[in-house]
Structure 1
Amino acid sequence: MVVTRFAPSPTGYLHIGGLRTALFSYLWAKKNGGKFVLRIEDTDKARNSNEATQAILEAFAWLGLEADGDITYQSKRSDIYAKYIKQLLDEGKAYKCYMSREELDTLRETQMANKERTKYDGKYRDFKGTPPEGVEPVIRIKAPISGEIIVHDGVKGDVVFQAEDILDDFVIARADGSPTYNFVVAIDDALMGINEVIRGDDHLSNTPKQIVVYEALGFDIPKFYHVPMIHNQQGKKLSKRDGATDVMEYKAMGYLPEALLNFLVRLGWSHGDQEIFSMDEMKALFDPKDINKSASIYNTEKLDWLNAHYIKNTPNDELVELLLDFDIVLTSHDKKEILLDALKERAKTLKELATLSREVITTPSEYDAKAVKKAFKGNAFEVLENFAAKLNAADTLHLPADYHHVMESVVNEMEIGFGKIGNPLRVALLGKMSGPGLDAVMAILGRDETLLRIQNAIKANAN
């Protein structure tokens, strides 16, 4: 059974790169009928934040990425880590190092001056003497000092590290007894049965150290997939300005979870030329062996295109609920179907859909100057007054087509083009030249509101 995990540190928001890693891990577990585990790596007490933890959980809930079983918190597992530290000490695979901070600094300066790689020199590796007084020791693991460590990576192939170049006897427990990252990650993955690890390739340099811990404790080594980073359009590390922001900001900007997940699955993975994937399709088709070896490029236009697709295909009753987050209340609006059908073809985000809705259902308080100059010229007011009179006299006005018939009658009677009525009517109703079809706008507003807006526009602009 495939068991994967996502293990964020709650020191900040969940960003887009972390979410992609979580998604890949989730899909691979689900495709194989396995388990996807969520572990909060909260051992860094100085940097951890309860707010960050809640933000991670909130993002997972919004996106529908449900973890299997209870969420694991590293901060509650200190007894387990202490047990394995003791085991390694008892077996002679780890030792207490009494080297002071000053000694370490002096050693590093000497090595730098000699153009050597800075590393711990193993002073206490086989120490048998009397420990110095007043120094609380750290615990170091005995790492191999020669040979190779090979990471069998599902994305990059075999990655070979020379032990003497990348390892020293790294610290597995600090002087205060708290364990270090590479130590606890290996233990947790082993004890939780994690057998396939999908993570960013910024972690690749940690993997040899974790393999040292696995081997020292006799644990099975999982299969690794190190995923290349997401870059901006210039090929550089993604910044907050480019989109590396809190995942929940995407909700605030009006993106749908389905669109965001679809967007992320295509950042570094593909299935032929297919661009749109449902969650079921992602689960069926995703395979980490198909992840690209090169960095992927973040493209806002692609995200907007996908989001527009999902908005168009979201039922109107769901859109009504989603728009509540953007202060648009259409629950009891009798023309909400016409409104949303007219607008959701034009909106890239829910925020944009909310703005478009507000522009239709809110009476204009001002009129765009350029639009006024273009629309209210010649006999524009005469056309509007004629239209208003016919609208007032019409028998049946329910559907967009009913309003269109009234417009046609004015066009035919006055022998004018549709633009002669369309432009001034649009500015009268919306305060600007852009917007959805006028037939739909008037059907949404109804006769009385349409007449009121025409009267307001004539009064405000007829000088």
Structure 2
Amino acid sequence: MNDLSKKPVRTRIAPSPTGFLHLGTARTALYSWAYARHHGGQFVLRIEDTDVARSTQDSVEQILAAMKWLGLEYDEGPIYQMQRLDRYQAVIDQMIAAGTAYRCYCSPEELETMKAAQDARGEKRRYDGTWRPEPGKVLPPVPEGVKPVVRFKNPVDGDVSWDDLVKGTITINNREIDDLIILRPDGVPTYNFAVVVDDWDMGITHVFRGDEHINNTPWQINIFRALGAELPAFGHLPIILGDDGLKLSKRRGAVSVTAYEDDGYLPEGMLNYLARLGWSHGDDELFSREQMVSWFDGSHLSKSPAQWDPAKLEWVNSQYIKQADDARLAALVQGQLAKRGIEASVERLTPMCTLFKDRCATTVALADWLAMYFAPVNPSAEDLSTHVTEAVKPAIGALADKFATVEWNKVAIQAAIKDVIAAHGLKMPQLAIPVRVLACGRAQTPSVDAVLELFDKNMLIERLRSI
């Protein structure tokens, strides 16, 4: 490994726009961003869109939106691989001229026959080198009308070793890998080639990525060396497991990052939770972005898979909801209510968020509470029969009448409730709970006077008189 200590740190995230930005990629982006920021370096966003059949503009836009929501600002990009085809072709031409790559004219049918024969012999599937040039070797005649692929001439002997930032030293023998295709017949490069040229051109010094890429790394290191390029440091992060113990992935149970925004999570809560899925700083559970940047030096990364825990995410997010500015929460809740067809001003919502945010893990949960101030409520039949009894209805009616005449503030509301309780010989819960059921649609709320103060006075009186 080359000495990178004197070079400015440059990291990257390189998602493929074949679907949404999922949680594993978001965690990798966070670690890459934090490492660059810790070292005063730069963070690059690259869109690896060479899978032309599956890449979509919608996916690109979702990736950009997710990065923006998480606040993972990048210094360069987005850089699109499909806009760099001329560069890849130029490197291919250089490699062919240097003898480190060659054209292969094997048809798909020939390759399938090759694999079948290897299977029959119990051998590992690998390209057999039919078109690999060697001293004194006579190659087959070039077939007419066949567009070749280009293969990398991988070393046949020796080992590939690197000191992984997460896993430690990893060694793979060159006999375990073969001459992979680096350019398709249509002129589009394959992943393992394009990623090397990109990281080389962009001066990437540290590559964090999922450990599913470990098997790709020997090929990439060999291509770096064939190009005379300096190697980046590699750090392969363990997978994230779902609560079923299986890998989260685009194809299995993973949810897009933006879905969590829709579900009412705050970006700082999501970043804090993602950071702890494979990294720690002592026993610290809650920390700011600034603290993470100051602590994230690439050490203390776990070698073991992390377990996605929705309940822990909710707890972490609830802590950030409690700390959040109330006007900011109000704007987010306003958006959540708008999805339900409920219009509400930030001015009205702000004091409501102040009162209810300690009970909520998400802005969706906050909206569930605050909807009662703007839309009809539907108390359960059980709550109505249990709490809104014939014995208490006269007191509820009296309270509605008294509310009609008082100043609308918490002190006056509390005084009116106490007067009605005294006049009807009741205890506080005997009146407060049925009032909650009728006004809020539920029997348990914060302090009843604080809750009622935030209602439109006429709406509240109408609900109390509906019995």
TM-score bracket for this pair, using the shorter chain length:
over 0.9
Partner of residue 267 from structure 2, selected from 253, 257, 261: 257
- Aligned CA distance change for structure 1 residues 115 and 240 (closer, same or farther; 3 Å): closer
Where in structure 2 are the equivalents of 1:185-224 lying within 5 Å?
A: 185-224=195-234
Partner of residue 191 from structure 2, selected from 173, 181, 189: 181
Partner of residue 341 from structure 1, selected from 345, 354, 364: 354
Residue aligning to 1:137: 148
Structure 2: unaligned runs, 5 residues or longer? 1-7
Letter in 2 for 1:356: W
Mapped contact 1:403–1:443 kept (Cα < 8 A)? yes
* C-alpha displacement of 1:239: 5.6
- The answer to whether structure 1 residue 123 and structure 2 residue 130 are counterparts is yes
Partner of residue 313 from structure 2, selected from 303, 312, 315: 303
Residue aligning to 1:331: 345
- Aligned CA distance change for structure 1 residues 329 and 284 (closer, same or farther; 3 Å): farther
Residue aligning to 2:384: 372
Give the whole-Å Cα distance in 1 for the aligned partners of 2:414 and 2:116: 83
* C-alpha displacement of 1:240: 7.0
Where in structure 2 are the equivalents of 1:22-101 lying within 5 Å?
A: 22-101=29-108
* C-alpha displacement of 1:329: 4.3
Where in structure 2 are the equivalents of 1:279-428 lying within 5 Å?
A: 279-326=289-336, 327=338, 329-331=343-345, 333=347, 335-364=348-377, 366-394=378-406, 396-398=407-409, 400-428=410-438
* C-alpha displacement of 1:337: 4.0
**TM-score w.r.t. length of structure 2:** 0.93
Residue aligning to 2:27: 20
* C-alpha displacement of 1:257: 0.8
Structure 1: unaligned runs, 5 residues or longer? 459-463
Percent identity of paired positions between Structure 1 and Structure 2: 39
Give the whole-Å Cα distance in 2 for the aligned partners of 1:291 and 1:118: 34
Deviates more, 1:134-143 or 1:123-132: 123-132
Mapped contact 1:397–1:403 kept (Cα < 8 A)? yes
1:83-128: CA deviation from partner (whole Å, max 9, x where unpaired): 1111111011111112222221111111101110010111221254
Mapped contact 1:336–1:444 kept (Cα < 8 A)? no
Give the whole-Å Cα distance in 2 for the aligned partners of 1:136 and 1:388: 85
**TM-score w.r.t. length of structure 1:** 0.93
Residue aligning to 2:4: none
Deviates more, 1:14-23 or 1:95-104: 95-104
Residue aligning to 1:461: none
Q: Alignment partner of 1:5: what SS?
A: strand
How many pairs are equivalent? Answer: 452
Deviates more, 1:208-217 or 1:278-287: 278-287
* C-alpha displacement of 1:426: 1.1
Letter in 2 for 1:154: L
Mapped contact 1:338–1:440 kept (Cα < 8 A)? no
Mapped contact 1:342–1:437 kept (Cα < 8 A)? no
Mapped contact 1:232–1:242 kept (Cα < 8 A)? no
Give the whole-Å Cα distance in 1 for the aligned partners of 2:252 and 2:373: 32
1:250-295: CA deviation from partner (whole Å, max 9, x where unpaired): 1111111111111100111111111111111111111322110000
Deviates more, 1:248-257 or 1:128-137: 128-137
Give the whole-Å Cα distance in 1 for the aligned partners of 2:256 and 2:317: 18
* C-alpha displacement of 1:217: 0.3
Q: Alignment partner of 1:39: what SS?
A: strand
Where in structure 2 are the equivalents of 1:423-462 lying within 5 Å?
A: 423-456=433-466, 458=467
Letter in 2 for 1:341: T
RMSD across aligned positions (CA): 1.8
* C-alpha displacement of 1:385: 2.1
Deviates more, 1:224-233 or 1:438-447: 438-447
